[in-house]
Amino acid sequence: MPAARPRFALLLRFVLVLGMMAATGCKDPKREAELLQRETAAAAKEEAQAKRDAELAKREADLAKEQEAVRTQQIALEKRFQEVEVRLAKQEQEITQRHKELDRMEAEMKAAKVLYETKVKRGPAPSITSERVIVINAENDEVLFERNPDKRNAIASTTKIMTAILLIEAGNLDKEMTIETSDTICAPVKMGLKAGEKYTRRNLLTALMVKSSNDIAQALARDNAGSVEAFVAKMNAKAKELGCADTLFINPNGLPPINDQPDPYSTPRDLVKLAAIADKLPDLRAMVKLKTYSFTKGDGKTIVLDNTNRVLRTCEFCDGMKTGYTGAAGHCLVATGERDGRRRIVVVLNGSTTGVWKDAEALLEWALKS
């Protein structure tokens, strides 16, 4: 169609020329031939230019198609590349997950092997008579033995482990404090403190953990929180913070309830949590390992306190921690010990007069075999 236009233009010019010639009455054949020749040449140029324009337009259209095809291919390649990247990332994630699973299985197999070999080496747990018991590995809290570990009942003076934790966390153990009259009013066992006497908190706390004097527990609690009642609130808040849901304290010394107080209670599982925390406190470790402690009273007289924990004297690897007794709790003992880098904690509650020591020592020795 574009090529027809130059021919039409040539014909139109030819007709116009003839018309002009007819109108002017030109009869010169040579001039007419020249005019016709020029018009023919002009038409040929226009036709050639139109042809070139058409070829150029076609080339541009072809180039645009090629560019579009290239863009389409590029988009397709980019999409495929992204799909491959996603697939590879997923495969790498799966491989990593498989490696982790294999590592976990390998670790479990090694742990199971160690546990089996340890149990074989340690042998069966000893026969005991105490009602509520738990034994743990102090390094990882693994339970090695338990009997009625979640049974609630009184825990007597092992309560003082929580008292000691709060006092040591508060700090200023070497600061001096003054005994008040209210501190001296409590049931035995008592140190016989007198109002107006001055002691450092460290001296009193050491005497508390060695000899378990109830008047000392009251004095330290009042000094720490302003009143015994406020200190007991701190004890129960700390128990809740530590996840000891089966524990209720009513005083800082573990004595039975008076007046309208509820019965205090805890479990071997909760108590061993407290013991594990206390076992990590250097100040407390230094106190509970003492077999005796020389305590200077307010009148200047020094008395030697024997530790109430008999296992300290009968078992060479025992190094703590706290005894207790009430009618409800029976004879109680939290005992710690270490041998060849292995550390264990034993909790014995509701034991008999002699059974508590035998059970604690036998369990400690058994647990430390491996």
Looking at residue 159, its pLDDT comes to: 98
Stretch 33-57: mean pLDDT:
85
213 has a pLDDT exceeding 80: yes
Question: Strands, E, within the chain: which ranges?
Answer: 132-137, 143-147, 176-178, 198-200, 292-296, 302-306, 318-326, 330-339, 342-351
142 has a pLDDT exceeding 90: yes
Of the chain, the percentage scoring pLDDT greater than 70 comes to: 91
Looking at residue 109, its pLDDT comes to: 85
| C-alpha–C-alpha distance, residues 338 and 324, integer Å | 22
Stretch 134-163: mean pLDDT:
97
Q: Which of 27-41, 196-210, 251-265, 294-308 has the lowest mean pLDDT?
A: 27-41
The residue among 104 and 278 whose pLDDT is bigger is 278
236 has a pLDDT exceeding 70: yes
10 has a pLDDT exceeding 60: no
The residue among 9 and 139 whose pLDDT is bigger is 139
CB 312 within 8 A of CB 289: yes
Give the contacts of 241 (CB within 8 A, at least 6 positions apart): none
Looking at residue 16, its pLDDT comes to: 60
Looking at residue 58, its pLDDT comes to: 87
129-172+221-367: CATH, from 3.40.50.970, 1.10.8.50, 3.90.1150.10, 3.40.710.10:
3.40.710.10
Stretch 275-284: mean pLDDT:
98
End-to-end CA distance of the chain, in Å?
A: 103
Residue 113 pLDDT class (50, 70, 90 cuts): confident
Domain residue spans of the chain: 4-20+30-79, 129-172+221-367
| C-alpha–C-alpha distance, residues 190 and 249, integer Å | 20
9 has a pLDDT exceeding 70: no
110 has a pLDDT exceeding 60: yes
Looking at residue 345, its pLDDT comes to: 98
Q: Which of 188-192, 273-277, 289-293, 360-364 has the lowest mean pLDDT?
A: 188-192
Burial pattern 120-146, b for ≥16 Cβ within 10 A else e, equals: eeeeebeebebbbbbbbbbeeeeebbb
The residue among 34 and 140 whose pLDDT is bigger is 140
Give the contacts of 277 (CB within 8 A, at least 6 positions apart): 165, 242
21 has a pLDDT exceeding 90: no
Stretch 95-111: mean pLDDT:
88
273 has a pLDDT exceeding 90: yes
The residue among 63 and 218 whose pLDDT is bigger is 218
Of the chain, the percentage scoring pLDDT greater than 90 comes to: 68
Looking at residue 112, its pLDDT comes to: 76
Q: Is the pTM of this model over 0.85?
A: no
Stretch 25-49: mean pLDDT:
80
The rounded mean pLDDT for the chain is: 91
Looking at residue 44, its pLDDT comes to: 85
Active site residues: 157, 160, 212
32 has a pLDDT exceeding 90: no
